[in-house]
Structure 1
């Protein structure tokens, strides 16, 4: 009797994408492959994407940092939000616990720096700040 073995489904560690390139760019890639700089077109494209992502590493890290979820107590003060405003950044607040927006935060500052706010627990803020963020509270 033949032995039947079930093979595990392997989750792929990459995603296939399709892109269109102009003939000149494609020819330049093929030339680099032909000259031995890359093993094939895919190798060139993967390398180019990694280099581009590396060049934006700080932006990606800051974005990921801004989108993390806080557990417990999270205070947002005027100085922190003003620093975000000065840097041209928008905060996406996710808190499990208590989120407090300090009394020194004006409704205008809150609206300019808080893109969304999701709190599982409680949110403490002045009535004016709550009103300014009403369409951003989830």
Structure 2
């Protein structure tokens, strides 16, 4: 009456779910759901990992751009300082040229006085040599110029 052949065997009562669906169907469905959830979980992990990598690259790029910006600002500041220093040096040179121009007459006058003094010193030196040669001339000078 009851056959034990697999094709005609009735499912064991413990393998039937209260909803009337066999446990094998529920387990298969649960496994499929678990597999889908696992795949989705792995996809989510992968997507999060990609998003984190993208954010890391963007943050690194932002840091790099900030560094370039700071370097450009430093170079611009240095260039501005060089320009200011050149302007300051130009002003100093103009002031010096003005002083030289203003003092030109005074320097010429001093130069004339120095040249005249040199001539007079040479004349005085010649006169002293003559006086040494002619000591009697000194006696005559003393006679003319009493103390």
TM-score (norm 1): 0.27
Which structure: greater strand fraction? 1
- Structure 1 or 2, whichever has the larger Rg, is 2
Greater RCO, 1 or 2 (C-alpha within 8 Å, sep 6+):
1
Which structure: greater helix fraction? 2
